[in-house]
Amino acid sequence: MLSNHLQNGVETAKLIWSRLPNAEDVSDAEPDEDGVLRNDGFGGVESLDYEVIENYAYRQEQARRGKLYVWYYVGVKWFFALLIGIGTGLAAVLINISVENFAGWKYSLTFRIIQSSYVAGFIVYTVINLALVFSSVFIITQFAPAAAGSGIPEIKGYLNGIDTRGILLFRTLIGKISGSIGSVGGGLALGKEGPLVHTGACIASLLGQGGSTKYHLSTRWLQVFKSDRDRRDLVTCGCAAGVAAAFRAPVGGVLFALEEVTSWWRSQLMWRVFFTSAVVAVVVRTAMGWCKSGKCGHFGSGGFIIWDVSDGQEDYSFEELLPMAIIGVIGGLLGALFNQLTLYITYWRRNYLHKKGNRVKIIEACLISVITSVISFGLPLFRKCSACPDSDVTSECPRPPGMYGNYVNFYCTKDNEYNDLATIFFNTQDDAIRNLFSAKTIHEYSAQSLLTFLAMFYSLAVVTFGTAVPAGQFVPGIMIGSTYGRLVGMFVVRLYKKLNIEEGTYALLGAASFLGGSMRMTVSLCVIMVEITNNLKLLPLIMLVLLISKAVGDAFNEGLYEEQARLRGIPLLESRPKNLMRKMTAKEACGNQKVSYFTRVVKVADVANILRTNSHNGFPVVDHTRTGETMVIGLILRSHLLVLLQSKADFQHSPLAVDMRSQSIPIRHSLSDFVKPVSSKGLSINDIHLSPDDLEMYIDLAPFVNPSPYVVPEDMSLTKVYNLFRQLGLRHIFVVPRASRVIGMITRKDLLFEDNEDSGPVELQSTSVRGRQQGGSTRNPEVEHPLLNGLLE
């Protein structure tokens, strides 16, 4: 019996935490395999769940933890949600205004020059693009390498439990914002939406740690979020805020965070995430209202992608479902191909090109910029202009390029002509999409132009993906999809002449299908598409094409983010266990892995040795009972051991355990010593200097262990273990032998205190706590379970 150990002189860890009835354990703050302290389980109460790293440090916290502190804590949480919303909204506004101004200025300058010379115009256009792209790639390579790419796979990994170095730093934030402005303003085939999600996450994370310590921007009073769980909640808010800002889709943002990025979810968090998204919507709306008065330069109604198709098709007939299904299939095929091609190219880049250093990265980006400029300027030159439609024209024709609207006049001989290829190619992406989505503009584009654009832009998007600039895939995806969607729409218009068909609606469906075929999101994408088009009536159609394109795409490969995450070595735990696991037991999964363990009181030399010779991040701690049996008293983390080794405060000369029953244990560590540094690598064993004297000392690990990590019996199905692991977001599970007896069984009724009429557990609880406070060793389990022992004899 356990109490035997307690009654005799040997102090087991059991006693230590039983003396602190409130003590939560530390399973929720365990280090990742990369040695960074992470918090994955969430054992605490939501309103006040900063993690207790060690039991006696916990006592210090108790003093601060009054009723008032709880209110302060909850208040700060909501205040942070507000700040994240405002910050992300402002970042989005900044990026959009900058991009629109750079691009607008670029196009109007080019247009002015081409009135006299197309060659000069081309040179100016190319140079401006090159300069912008160079600024972006320079910032990224020199200053913030973690800001390259979309950042969504990394954020997904972070929320799934894996830290990628540097993704949430202040410099990454700055790099992401300025890099986005350069790369999007420079006309590359990429978007600013993915980077905005990353930006939101960075803002959230920086707020969570109370600012950036490196740049002396931190404030002390905001550092209430000690636990990694709180930080991850904030990052989830930041993600949703990013999507909400990018698409002005608050509901879509919440669902994106829910579906795509987080591995786990609580409804309390959902409400906070939704609040953040709504704040973003207000900020963006306010800023756009302010810009309407012309204070933002070239920033017109553009910038934020809201493609209002409310003028478009309101109804659909049965015959249209077939072409829509075809769009879905095309989307699935092209999306899967896109994933595959980008995977190959990224793989090649990682292993060959980018190994050659930053210079190559810069040259590569600049080269792509020049190619993009040549194609987007050059191709429309070869396109014959069409005459402006005479009747039923709602928009001006022709218009100068880069300005809002259809029917761009570019290299046309007559005044009332327009260049349909230039309308989509020689334009900002937002305007191009708006033009592709536009209703009441039947026959604006020729099939030839659309096909040319599709082939060219698809290739550019594939090649551009993975360059060392911040790059989102949403807008390129929408561009590609809406092009073939409109193409299908053109055929449908020609085929079913009588129907009220708008090519713009087909373009929208095409966009949805390509995103579905590439990113494989479902609900969130659907809602985002509905929100950006502001037309709920298209929901069933969007859903239809998404269902088809996702199914088609899934037949070939995984989603874009999953593929990229795998390529980058981010081990995402999927939501469903593999079939293989059904055939395995827990024991087989841990397999021939060596379990290194510590005894309760351990020599410092042994600790250092074990930490040096293996890379495990958690170690079981065992103790011996009087009868010589071993008993597992908990889990100790590598990072906590490193803190202990570095501080040396707990070293002792005697190999005997400290008597934890005496109140005289000096409090040598504060909670914050064990808190994970967000933006640094953390300690390494090689950083710690231990003198020969130190090595001869002992350390009692009992106060620092997580006394009750989750355990599974050795022969449990791995599927079950996987679900446990993922649902609770664990880091370590102990595989233990099958139990020899059952002490009790917990059912639903035992967890419902109010409704339990006999209130047995509650009464027992109070007596037990009393018993514990008297020392814990006076309890007699035989009395508490008189029948159990009789039955088990």
CA distance 409 to 423: 8
Q: Residue 22 or residue 117: which is nearer to a second copy going by CB?
A: 22
Name the minimum Å distance from CB 315 to a second copy.
8
Token representation of residue 503: 């090519």
Q: Residue 310 or residue 670: which is nearer to a second copy going by CB?
A: 310
As a whole number of Å, the end-to-end CA separation of the chain is: 14
**Number of neighbouring beta carbons within 10 Å of residue 748:** 7
73 in Cβ contact with 224 (< 8 Å): yes
Binding range to a second copy, per CB under 8 A, among 143-151, 184-192, 329-337, 749-757: 749-757
3-state secondary structure of 631: strand
Name the minimum Å distance from CB 294 to a second copy.
18
Binding status of residue 734 toward a second copy by CB under 8 A: yes
Binding status of residue 8 toward a second copy by CB under 8 A: no
Non-local CB neighbours of 423 within 8 Å, separated by 6+ positions: 406, 407, 408, 432, 435, 444, 445
Name the minimum Å distance from CB 370 to a second copy.
37
Name the minimum Å distance from CB 671 to a second copy.
17
HSE (CB half, 13 Å, CA atoms) of 399? 21
Non-local CB neighbours of 278 within 8 Å, separated by 6+ positions: 85, 244, 250
Q: Residue 125 or residue 619: which is nearer to a second copy going by CB?
A: 619
Name the minimum Å distance from CB 142 to a second copy.
31
Sole binder of a second copy in the list 292, 356, 769, 778 (CB under 8 A): 769
Q: Residue 319 or residue 687: which is nearer to a second copy going by CB?
A: 319
549 in Cβ contact with 332 (< 8 Å): yes
Token representation of residue 200: 């939101």
CA distance 651 to 441: 79
Binding status of residue 271 toward a second copy by CB under 8 A: yes
Binding status of residue 731 toward a second copy by CB under 8 A: yes
**Residues forming a β-bridge with 138:** none
Judged on CB neighbours under 10 Å (0-12, 13-18, 19+), 400 is middle
Name the minimum Å distance from CB 59 to a second copy.
14
Q: Residue 381 or residue 736: which is nearer to a second copy going by CB?
A: 736
Q: Is the dihedral of CA 536, 540, 545, 546 positive or negative?
A: positive
Q: Residue 662 or residue 740: which is nearer to a second copy going by CB?
A: 740
Sole binder of a second copy in the list 47, 142, 680, 691 (CB under 8 A): 47
Q: Which of residues 81-110 bind a second copy (CB under 8 A)?
A: none
Q: Residue 121 or residue 707: which is nearer to a second copy going by CB?
A: 707
Q: Which of residues 681-710 bind a second copy (CB under 8 A)?
A: 707-708, 710
**Strands 698-700, 651-652: parallel, antiparallel or unpaired by DSSP?**
antiparallel
Report how far apart, in Å, the C-alpha atoms of 79 and of each of 51, 55, 83, 233 are: 21, 30, 6, 13
Binding status of residue 51 toward a second copy by CB under 8 A: no
Sole binder of a second copy in the list 6, 11, 17, 476 (CB under 8 A): 17
Q: Residue 594 or residue 689: which is nearer to a second copy going by CB?
A: 594
Sole binder of a second copy in the list 60, 459, 522, 652 (CB under 8 A): 522
Binding status of residue 216 toward a second copy by CB under 8 A: no
CA distance 751 to 314: 52
Alpha-carbon 672 to chain mean position? 26
Report how far apart, in Å, the C-alpha atoms of 792 and of each of 197, 428, 742, 785 are: 58, 77, 9, 11
Name the minimum Å distance from CB 575 to a second copy.
6
Q: Is the peptide bond before 713 cis (omega within 30 degrees of 0)?
A: no
AA letter at 593? Q
Sole binder of a second copy in the list 72, 404, 556, 597 (CB under 8 A): 597
3-state secondary structure of 697: coil
Sole binder of a second copy in the list 6, 11, 14, 323 (CB under 8 A): 14
Binding status of residue 787 toward a second copy by CB under 8 A: yes
Q: Residue 481 or residue 618: which is nearer to a second copy going by CB?
A: 618
Name the minimum Å distance from CB 500 to a second copy.
14
Report how far apart, in Å, the C-alpha atoms of 230 and of each of 67, 253, 426, 573 are: 19, 19, 46, 21
Name the minimum Å distance from CB 607 to a second copy.
14
Q: Residue 6 or residue 685: which is nearer to a second copy going by CB?
A: 6
Q: Residue 381 or residue 590: which is nearer to a second copy going by CB?
A: 590
Binding range to a second copy, per CB under 8 A, among 393-401, 467-475, 691-699, 733-741: 733-741
Binding status of residue 19 toward a second copy by CB under 8 A: no
Binding range to a second copy, per CB under 8 A, among 55-63, 173-181, 679-687, 732-740: 732-740
Sole binder of a second copy in the list 270, 341, 371, 695 (CB under 8 A): 270
Q: Which of residues 532-591 bind a second copy (CB under 8 A)?
A: 534, 536-537, 539-540, 543, 547, 566, 569, 571, 573, 575-591
CA distance 121 to 402: 14
Q: Which of residues 151-170 bind a second copy (CB under 8 A)?
A: 161-162
Binding status of residue 7 toward a second copy by CB under 8 A: no
**Number of neighbouring beta carbons within 10 Å of residue 244:** 36
DSSP structure string for 575-610:
SS--GGGGG-BHHHHHTT-----EESEEEHHHHHHH
Binding status of residue 254 toward a second copy by CB under 8 A: yes
Sole binder of a second copy in the list 82, 113, 174, 523 (CB under 8 A): 523
DSSP structure string for 289-325:
HHIIIIITTT--S-SS-----TTS-----GGGHHHHH
Binding range to a second copy, per CB under 8 A, among 164-172, 369-377, 415-423, 717-725: 717-725
Q: Residue 479 or residue 660: which is nearer to a second copy going by CB?
A: 660
- Tell me the residue ranges of DSSP E strands in 305-434: 386-387, 417-418
Binding range to a second copy, per CB under 8 A, among 178-186, 193-201, 266-274, 340-348: 266-274
Sole binder of a second copy in the list 715, 770, 778, 780 (CB under 8 A): 715
Sole binder of a second copy in the list 204, 327, 408, 633 (CB under 8 A): 633
Sole binder of a second copy in the list 10, 19, 46, 86 (CB under 8 A): 46
CA distance 151 to 158: 10
Sole binder of a second copy in the list 11, 25, 503, 563 (CB under 8 A): 25
Binding range to a second copy, per CB under 8 A, among 421-429, 657-665, 677-685, 731-739: 731-739
Binding range to a second copy, per CB under 8 A, among 199-207, 350-358, 449-457, 618-626: 618-626
Sole binder of a second copy in the list 9, 666, 692, 744 (CB under 8 A): 744
Instruction: Determine which helix (DSSP H) or strand (DSSP E) holds 30, and give its type and residue range.
Output: strand 30-31
733 in Cβ contact with 711 (< 8 Å): yes
CA distance 38 to 147: 22
3-state secondary structure of 395: coil
**Strands 618-624, 651-652: parallel, antiparallel or unpaired by DSSP?**
unpaired
Q: Residue 94 or residue 270: which is nearer to a second copy going by CB?
A: 270
Binding range to a second copy, per CB under 8 A, among 108-116, 165-173, 641-649, 748-756: 748-756
Report how far apart, in Å, the C-alpha atoms of 429 and of each of 54, 426, 459, 542, 782 are: 54, 9, 16, 22, 75
Binding status of residue 596 toward a second copy by CB under 8 A: yes
Sole binder of a second copy in the list 455, 612, 753, 782 (CB under 8 A): 753
